[in-house]
Structures are given as C-alpha cells and as structure tokens.
Amino acid sequence: MSTSSRAQVGIVGAGPAGLLLSHLLALRGIDSIVVENRSRAYCEARQRAGLLEAGTVELLRAVGLGKRLDAEGLEHGGIYLQFAGERHHLDFRDLTGGRWVTIYAQTEIVKDLIQARLAAGARLEFEVSGTEVAGLDEDRPVLRYTDAAGTRHEVRCDVIAGCDGFHGICRDSMPPGLVQAAERGYPYSWLGILATVPPSTDELIYSRHEDGFALHTMRTPQVSRLYLQVSADEDIERWPDDRIWAELRHRLEIPGWELRDGPITEKAILPMRSFVASPMRYRRLFLAGDAAHIVPPTGAKGLNLAIADVTVLAEALTGLLRDGDPGLADAYADASLRRVWRATHFSWWMTSMLHVDPGPDRFGAELQLAQLRYVVASRAAATTLAENYTGYYPLRRP
C-alpha cells in the first residue's frame, strides 16, 4: 500500500536539528513532516553532547523551550585548564563581558522538542525505513519513506531539509560531483562515561596530561560525565571500570583535589573527525547540522552548530515559502559556513592543544605547553578561547 500527501517542508532526521527546525517553522505558520529511522525511545536516550553556548540557551528560551532548561540546566561562568600538574581557572564572564555556558544534556533537549512537537500535533514519524529524496530538479521535490506499519508514503514538498546526521542519505542525494568535502582525521578517540556520582568539580576541567587528555564534565548535580583520550582503534572491552577510574585519577588529580568515583552506567568510544561539506544547498534541498559538518568534540561545538544552522534556515525558509523572498535562502549556505569554519578552527585548535599525539614528539609537546601557558597568562589569548567557547557569531534571536 502507498499514500501521497503534501507538506511545505519535508525534514529527514529527528535529532536536535530536525526537531528544532520543525518547531521554528511551526511558530511561523509553516507546516512540516519529520521522518526518523530510529525509535522515539532510542532518540531520547542516545548519549551525546551536553554543553550549550549562551546564544543557544537564549534561542531555546525565546522559542518556548526554556522551562526545564532553566529549572535543571547548570550555568557555568568558566572552565579549568590543567597542564604540567597545575590547574588554572578561566573566568568567561570577566573575559567576555558576561557570557556563560550551560550544561543541559542533548537527550533532554530532544525530549523537550519531541514533547513540544507532539503536543502541537506535528507530523513526526519514528521507525521509518527506506527514506529517499527525489525530484530535486523539480519545483516540488519528494520525500519517500516506509512507516513502522509497512505503508510506503510519498510526500510532495516545497523544500526538503536534510537534518539526518553524518551517516544520513541527504548529502549523498545531491548531484554527483557537487559536494566538496574538507576533512581532517585525528590519531586518537575519546572514551566517554556517564557515572552516578556527584561531580568532583564546580566547573569543567580540561586536562592535558603527558599520558593523554582527560575531561571532567557533568550532567546533573548527581551525574558526572568524563572523557579520556584513547588510541584511535581502541577496544572498549580493554577498559573495565576500575581501569577507567584509575586512568581518570592519573590524568586529572592534583595535590589537594580528588576525583570521586561511582557506578558507570554507560561507556562508549567516540571517534574524532573534522568534516565540512559545501555547498549546504542544492536548489530545494538544504543540509543542516551533522549532515553537513562534524567537529571533534573538544570545545563542544557540534550541537551548538546544528542549532545555529536551523535557526538561520528557519528564517530563510520563511522568506522563501511565506514571503516569496529567496534572499535569505540564497545566503543560507555561505552564512552558515562562515560560522561552521570558525567553530571548526576552534575545535581543531582545542583538540590539537590538549591531546597527546601517539609516538614521541618533543617539538609538538613543547608547542602545546607554550600555547597553554600563553592562554592562561595573556588576557588577549584567554579572551580568544572564552569568546569562541561561549559562542562566536552570537545567534540573532528570532
């Protein structure tokens, strides 16, 4: 069986990008359908990012998504940078004229968005298969998918938004040869854990240790999140819980400060890569978020970029579909890529400054230490880190 329908915007992917785009469009009276190949439970449980730039928080508040974020989010006015056995504090509020960041897990944003979309009666289809986008050279491209009950659907759209993450199908649906990728691999990965133990720190600790990078972050006052640099091809089976805590202690502890441990509820290896695809648009197909670009996690830009993309895209599609003005849609790809490349540089810089390359590299290690000493000693250098971390190209509120 198959059915045909219409939507102004067909959105592939119910990650933060696709869900927020659907929400922003609805606020402007534009209807959309979101199709997602995973289940709702899977999308709501998938552990990923946790740190929101000030502009991201302000945007979510301005569009009615701030209630739980304000009640449960943890505001941070700085970070600790640790190297050569010493911990230094960077005060973002002082350095940036009042900017801050908030810890609020991506899983919680996704839950808030799904709830808001369903309460508004949105078309949101989980557990679809066989997603296809076609007719990209026509005025009404089509989105096809098979729903969980096995019915094939064809949705004629004015625009399709590819919010389907790095492994999605939309980027590859563009004409062959159009998309150019710029990328960089890194010779290490992260091992990330979630643990039921109160954080041992008031602010995040980024530690460059001669045996590898470690990061102490958090999710709630009862739940800690920690990351360890491991080798690129690391096998999670080689990391029983005791070994993880011992290595975290080794890389994070300084005299007078101890790391509390607790039951580990989740652990995973996270590969690291920088990747930027351009253009982010072909006629009536627009890419947003991880579908177009990914960054290594150091500095926490991935989620913030996805949110920034769809904020700009929602305004562009409003111009195109409601007001008949293609100006912002034509500017979308270049405007987004400027922000993406700034964050790509920052993520690469933080990653390169804090991780230890495999193999002896005295020269590289001394450069890292010189840079870290400069960041904590020079107000200009500290401000560079702080204004990028809290969000450069601050988002304009809708």
Among 76, 99, 171, 225, which residue sits at the site for ligand DHB (rule: CB under 6 A)?
A: 225
Q: Does 73 bind ligand FAD (CB under 6 A)?
A: no
Residue 121's nearest CA partner among 32, 15, 21 is 32
Which of ligand FAD, ligand DHB, none does residue 381 bind to, with CB < 5 to 8 Å depending on kind? Answer: none
Segment contacting ligand FAD by CB under 6 A, of 1-9, 63-71, 301-309, 328-336: 301-309
Task: Restricting to residues 303-322, name those near ligand FAD by CB under 6 A.
Answer: 303, 306
CB within 8 Å of 65: residues ≥ 6 apart: 23, 109, 112, 113, 116
Of 74 and 160, nearer to ligand DHB (C-beta) is: 74
CA–CA gap between residue 294 and residue 297 (Å, rounded): 9
Among 16, 50, 165, 391, which residue sits at the site for ligand DHB (rule: CB under 6 A)?
A: 50
SS3 state of residue 158: strand
Q: Does 297 bind ligand DHB (CB under 6 A)?
A: yes
Q: Does 65 bind ligand FAD (CB under 6 A)?
A: no
Whether 302 contacts 290, CB under 8 Å: yes
Of 199 and 367, nearer to ligand FAD (C-beta) is: 199
Which of ligand FAD, ligand DHB, none does residue 298 bind to, with CB < 5 to 8 Å depending on kind? Answer: ligand DHB
CA geometry: angle at 365 spanning 360 and 371, to 5°?
165
Q: How far is the CB of 127 from ligand DHB (least distance, A)?
A: 27
Give me the 251-290 binding string for ligand FAD, x by CB under 6 A, dash otherwise: -------------------x------------------xx
Of 298 and 388, nearer to ligand DHB (C-beta) is: 298
Among 49, 214, 375, 385, which residue sits at the site for ligand FAD (rule: CB under 6 A)?
A: 49
Whether 259 contacts 138, CB under 8 Å: no
Q: Quick one: tokens of 23?
A: 């929400």
Whether 275 contacts 293, CB under 8 Å: yes
Among 9, 14, 74, 114, which residue sits at the site for ligand FAD (rule: CB under 6 A)?
A: 14
CA–CA gap between residue 324 and residue 243 (Å, rounded): 60
Q: What is the DSSP letter of 393?
A: S
Task: Restricting to residues 167-226, name those near ligand FAD by CB under 6 A.
Answer: 168-169
Q: Which residue is nearest to ligand DHB (CB)?
A: 50
- DSSP letters spanning 243-284: HHHHHHHHHH-BTTB------EEEEEEE--EEEEEE-SEETT
Return the amino acid letter for 154.
Answer: E
Residue 204's nearest CA partner among 233, 230, 227, 175 is 227
Among 7, 10, 16, 318, which residue sits at the site for ligand FAD (rule: CB under 6 A)?
A: 16
Q: Could you list the residues that contact ligand DHB (CB under 6 A)?
A: 49-51, 103, 204, 217, 225, 297-300
